Amino acid sequence: MFFDATLWSWPWRRSAPARAAGCEKVPNQPCCVSCDQNVGAHLVLDLGARVFAARSAFQAIEVYATRAFGNVLLIDGDLQLTARDEAYYHEMMVHVPLARSPRPAGAPARVLVVGGGDGGCAREALRWPNVTVTLVDIDAAVLDAARRFFPRTAAGLDDPRTTVVVGDGAAFAAAAAARGERYDLVVCDSTDCSSRERASGTLYTDAFLRNVKALVGETGSFVRNYTSLLWNLDEAAATLPRYAAAFGAVAPYAWQQPTYSSGSYSALLCGAGAAAPLADADAVAAELGDLALGDLSYWTPAVHAAAFALPAHVGRALFPRPRCPRATT
């Protein structure tokens, strides 16, 4: 897939995955639902019946039923979430930046979710007390599919503390920045895309980053879905400096995501949350105090702390140390 060259350039283009003949009709017929990540590999799930298919003005949306993973959402043939492990992704996208926020745990906070039409990030943000959410997604068809086929994920969409806006997230951010609005956290939960291929191409531009920086100021944070650091490390290393230039501090973190192509995924935390000192599990738990987030599936203080511990070769690639000049005689 080719991302906007002003921010993110990938050396390949994805195409919709090939499906085994008849797999839309035959239960448990293997189907490829995650495309080649330029490493010669595909993720294959046993999909049952295709229970929903629609093409909006922006993208193709499909939902398949599976025995092992519950309903599975595909956009333009690319797996977005499964009912079984979507909580891993949404919890890590939201609880990590909120737990690393310089604001005291439980203090009032405004959260802006750009994309995230399935509602999972909104749901997780609303676990925190005194949080209000504005969610902006360009495609009403995704919102409708989430409410119908992923009701637990979409629960935050219809919560009275959530304001849902159907529109271009980049345009919303630009207008909000021009009005001088401020958010404690901006979450970008978008499809992997480019302006050539998908509607979220504007979320990968320098202009969007400048506007988000204006929205979070010096005390807020920005987090975006990133990539597999194990498979797409070169691309992550090439784009990280742009985020650092926009926000100052950046901190990638990773977790296990079994139904994503490489089995792992990452997010990039930028701004005040990234600048906060790394804390061990006890320190994270102490910061939360008596704050209860309910029954989570993945995030814990220990997982939080471990997520920032990157493999040695990943750390070297993302944060190369300047080489000292050799002494001459």
Q: How many CB atoms lie within 10 A of CB 260?
A: 22
Nearest to 93 by CA among 266, 303, 216: 266
Yes or no: say if 139 and 176 are a contact pair by the CB < 8 Å rule. no
Q: How many CA atoms lie within 13 A of 186 on its CB side?
A: 32
**3 state DSSP class of 119:** coil
Edge-to-edge strand ranges of the sheet holding 185-189: 162-166, 131-137, 109-115, 185-189, 221-225, 264-271, 250-256
3-class state of residue 164 by DSSP? strand
Beta-strand relationship, 131-137 and 109-115: parallel
**Is residue 249 within 8 Å of 275, Cβ to Cβ?**
yes
Q: Distance between CA atoms of 315 and 286, rounded to whole angstroms? A: 28
Q: Which two tokens stand for residue 318?
A: 């993302």
User: Which residues carry out catalysis?
Assistant: 189
CB contact at 8 A, 147 and 169:
no
